[in-house]
Structure 1
Amino acid sequence: MLKTAFVAARDRQRLSEIATILIGFGVNKVVDRLGLRYIPLLPRRKPRVDVTRLSQPERLRRAIEALGPTFIKFGQVLASRPDLLSPAWTEELEKLHSQVSPVPWELIRPQLETDLGASPNEVFAEFDLNPIASASIAQVYRARLHSGEEVVVKVLRPGLRKIIEADLRLMAHGARIVESEWPDMARYQPREQMRHLAAGLNGELDLLNEARNCELLAAIFEGRDDVVFPKIFWEWCSERVLVQEFIHGISPNDEEGLRAAGVDKKLLAQKGTDAFLRMALIEGVFHADPHPGNLLAMSGDRIGFIDFGIIGRLSQKRRNQLLVLIGAMLKQDADGLMAVLLDWTGTSNPDLTKLEASAQAFVESHSSIPLNLGLVLTDFMTMARENDLAMPTDLAILFKGLVTADGVMRQLDPNFDLFAAAGPTVRSTMQTQFSLKGIKRKAEALGVGLFGAASELPTLIHLMLVRLKQGRVTVEIEVKGLDKVTRGIERAAARVAVALVVAAFATQLAPRLIDLGTPVFITIGMMVFTIGVGWLVLLGRNK
């Protein structure tokens, strides 16, 4: 309660605004569960539509749009998570968009001059005051440097950071409330979702981060001229300004433009897929939002990438799991599919019989060739949700990127089969991972790990002996048939205790008694040893 009061006091104006909007759009369940019903409200403007005629998903979507960029980003994340939400909710949230009315130049100019250290007219030979794009985070202008290069200038919207930081604090606190008040929501990992959202938004609020992302991905394709990334002009870049090369290209959904340019759409689809899979499966870092606005068909059948505010990352372990998943899908291996899903979803405790049936139904429903990757991944995540399993965040980002990329490639080539196109990349990666050299690397890493564990073993045994002597070893078990388990543990503990005493006598006390040379001590010691061994034998027979 004290933390809730502190959060409310720090961001009370924004909290009142959030509560007012949610109540105005009739999102009552969220309002009541988060305790917002008693927050002082602001004067309310009547919504443009009669919310009583809207479904709950529609009410939430309209409320999110009114709440601004932080909530829009969160809604877009949820729209890509069929493992968390049913289709009625994800389909409605997919209608969220980040395009907003541009901030007037009069408000942009002072901030831009401060960040450039000079007037735009001094820095650029030409500067178009009409933005070519305006989103919830930033807006983009075309310009030309005095050296002649055409560039785009991306500028953060003024005053945005303060609002987003307040929203993130409130949403993080709301996630804690959800986990404590709604135990059934814990599997959705709301706090983890908030951490991911905060990391993504903080990255987008620093345009230097986007510039670094661009150069990181560009380095993967160094030496290739058919995959293009814009050049960054670091001299004019800062946290709130990004100046990069303007890339001339055609959007994949511009059918007339593509036809006029005479591009080979099938070849572009293959190149785009190769590029994305190389980033994700081989390098472990990839463009996380490859929608048609961020991919460009260029002359010479080249493909260009732009907008690097969000990138995804995959560990080597996760990439290996992906290879196993793809193999299980292609082989229609329901058991392999189920194993990967259980591995990914960690501590969940699903109904294994139901999950096995779901996995079998999944592979049977996607047995035809060619496979529609977007549908396959969406159904896969739906299967996870129906079995009370939630996907890890890094995989959700990748799946969203794959589904988006698959849609773009199908615009270029309606018969496109991403699974077939992925074949060369997957085979190459698997050959690398499971070659003799790759296995040798894994064996060496395993050997180092086992050596480290072995070196710690004497210390752990010593610590266990000390804890046993002090009576400080506690075992807590909650299972069916607990009485039987308890009796078994008691017998096992008795055997361990006797074994430790006998072993301690045999290795420590007995040699010293023999050194003393006193017959009576030796006789007593041997009797103790014999009785201990006999007791162990009897316990073993009675287990």
Structure 2
Amino acid sequence: MLRTAFVAARDRQRLGEIVAVLIGYGVNKVVERLGLVHVARFARRKAPRVDVARLSQPQRVRRAIEALGPTFIKLGQILASRADLLTPEWTDELAKLHSQVSPIPWEKIRPQLEADLGGPPAEIFAEFDTTPIASASIAQVYRARLHSGEDVIVKVLRPGLRKIIEADLRLLAHATRIVVAEWPEFGRYQPQEQMRHLAGGLYGELDLVNEARNCELIAAIFSDRDDIVIPKIHWDWTSERLLVQEFIAGIPPNEPARLDAAGIDKVLLAQKGTDAFLQMALIEGVFHADPHPGNMLAMTGNRIGFIDFGIVGRLSERRRTQLLMLIASMVKEDADGLMAVLLDWTGASNPDLTKLEASSQAFITRHAGAPLNFGVLITDFMTMARENDLAMPTDLAILFKGLVTADGVMRQLDPAFDLFAAAGPTVKSRLTAQFSIRGLRRKVEAVGAGLFGAASELPTLIHLMLVRLKQGRVTVEIEVKGIDKLTRGIERAAARVAVALIVAAFATQLAPRFMDLGTPAFVTVGIGVLTLGIGWLVLLGRNK
């Protein structure tokens, strides 16, 4: 149980505040299950008086989360995107969470801002508006102008926030350990993985230098494009609690009247936005994790401005390949390919394959022949995962959230927008690069490097094994008659299996799957491998 005896003294006050909010919003079961009844006796007096009789359980939890502040809001937003873990009644309610809060008065912000700037704002800037243009749970944003004449925004971390968030994370980590130990049935919800994701995201947002670096990382991706605008960072005044960057004037995509008045080509802008997002995610492996309308701005000349890089997602090469395979499976209505990618992602060791196969086929049938709405498609896909007790990796959950958000923004610009159709050129280009002669050579070199590394470690491993055997005074002698004959038989069988698998892979999966995507080099390699493989199998069959 989460007894205060095991909670650091510095966190007990915060624990009391959390329990008081949970009681006030009628979330008593959480208090009871974590063994906090003894804390509740003292916290009840400070509990907010809220009429929750008419609220559902998800509504009570959502309102309690908003009252608990940024740590819990961020956790709720993470869970809102996890349709593979939670039912729609929960994800729909948690999706209503917002981080917009009442601004902190200027007099409370000013001392911290002056300390970080090294002087009063009136001396550092030619102009500074003390009325914030945005106020969120993490930071407040102000408009200013440099003496050089450049318009900038000044983002200031809310004072005292780090102390509260660090206490929340310690308490949540402690609660997570209890949940894992006491209630194994909650393991499917990946509590420890959710905590790592939460802590990583929050610590990243608490350091505005991290956001500035993310901004420059994304800017480097589009350094050769004038139609994608990323704000310039002013490092002279940027620090952990302060970010000063170029002000980008633009129109949010959800304001059609302003877009029309500015002569913006909304269809063209939707295509450009999709191309930019897919370039980040599929090619570079780093992407804006929250491309909502406030963070993607339509600019004159049909340009797009991206702002707010507090959180970026990252995808490994392997993940990007898996995503390409998923898109290909969906477009080609390939239920088997869909199931294979899902199993690969989740790492499930003992799923009900019959049920999963039926679910995959039903998914394909539901969406076959209809316009592909990406938001609906991904939500349905994650629901299928939940119904088969499969949980998605965190990095993919972040990507899916970003893709669904981007898809929604593009549909506001172009109601007929089809993300899959827009993704076609990028996917084709990526597949061509992966399965070209150069791409295959890189994969072979990577495998060779791995084998060389393993071989180079072999002497050390043998030495360690011998030392341990000597220390334990253990002598083991094994004699197997006919071992040479057995070894040759195993090697021959392994060769047959390996060649057969390669031939089968090229013959039944890869070649037909990508032939229509324009990869002539890969098809040529495939035909060559098929010919050599079949010939080798015939020779192996004769030399029994």
TM-score between the two structures when normalised by the length of structure 1:
0.84
8 A contact 2:232–2:245 mirrored in 1: yes
1:499 aligns with 2:500: no
Shift of 1:208: 0.8
125 and 341 in structure 1: CA distance in 2 versus 1, 3 angstrom threshold: same
Show the counterpart of 2:39.
39
Give the distance between the partners of 1:231 and 1:282, measured in 2 at CA: 23
8 A contact 1:108–1:158 mirrored in 2: yes
Give the distance between the partners of 1:455 and 1:139, measured in 2 at CA: 54
Show the counterpart of 2:524.
none
Show the counterpart of 2:382.
381
Query: What do you get for the CA RMSD once the two structures are aligned?
Result: 2.4
User: CA deviation digits over 1:198-235, x for unaligned, max 9?
Assistant: 11111111111111110000000002110000111111
Q: How does 1:97-496 map to 2 (within 5 A)?
A: 97-347=98-348, 349-456=350-457
Give the distance between the partners of 2:4 and 2:407, measured in 1 at CA: 44
User: CA deviation digits over 1:493-540, x for unaligned, max 9?
Assistant: 9xx94418989xxxxxxxxxxxxxxxxxxxxxxxxxxxxxxxxxxxxx
Give the distance between the partners of 2:473 and 2:333, measured in 1 at CA: 53
Show the counterpart of 2:23.
23
501 and 107 in structure 1: CA distance in 2 versus 1, 3 angstrom threshold: farther
Show the counterpart of 1:530.
none
Shift of 1:191: 1.0
Describe the SS at the equivalent of 1:292: coil
Describe the SS at the equivalent of 1:296: strand
Shift of 1:86: 0.4
468 and 362 in structure 1: CA distance in 2 versus 1, 3 angstrom threshold: farther
Q: May I ask how many residue pairs the two structures share in their alignment?
A: 482
Give the distance between the partners of 1:301 and 1:449, measured in 2 at CA: 47
* Identity between Structure 1 and Structure 2 (%): 76
Shift of 1:465: 8.9
User: CA deviation digits over 1:56-88, x for unaligned, max 9?
Assistant: 101101110111111011101111110111000
Amino acid at match of 1:66: A
8 A contact 2:140–2:156 mirrored in 1: yes
Give the distance between the partners of 2:20 and 2:269, measured in 1 at CA: 48
User: Radius of gyration: which is bigger?
Assistant: 1
TM-score between the two structures when normalised by the length of structure 2:
0.84
Shift of 1:285: 0.3
Give the distance between the partners of 1:420 and 1:457, measured in 2 at CA: 50
4 and 459 in structure 1: CA distance in 2 versus 1, 3 angstrom threshold: farther
8 A contact 1:204–1:309 mirrored in 2: yes
Show the counterpart of 1:515.
none
Shift of 1:338: 1.0
Give the distance between the partners of 1:111 and 1:500, measured in 2 at CA: 80
Amino acid at match of 1:206: D
Give the distance between the partners of 1:472 and 1:190, measured in 2 at CA: 44
131 and 463 in structure 1: CA distance in 2 versus 1, 3 angstrom threshold: closer
Amino acid at match of 1:499: V
Give the distance between the partners of 1:498 and 1:328, measured in 2 at CA: 51
Give the distance between the partners of 1:183 and 1:157, measured in 2 at CA: 38
Shift of 1:466: 9.2
8 A contact 1:348–1:389 mirrored in 2: no
Give the distance between the partners of 1:89 and 1:226, measured in 2 at CA: 39
Shift of 1:368: 2.4
User: CA deviation digits over 1:110-158, x for unaligned, max 9?
Assistant: 1100000010000111111111000000010111111100111100111
Describe the SS at the equivalent of 1:304: strand
User: CA deviation digits over 1:407-463, x for unaligned, max 9?
Assistant: 000000000000000000111111111110000010011112123334555776787
Describe the SS at the equivalent of 2:390: coil
Shift of 1:472: 8.9
5+ residue gaps, structure 1, are 474-492, 504-543
Show the counterpart of 2:55.
54
Show the counterpart of 1:94.
95
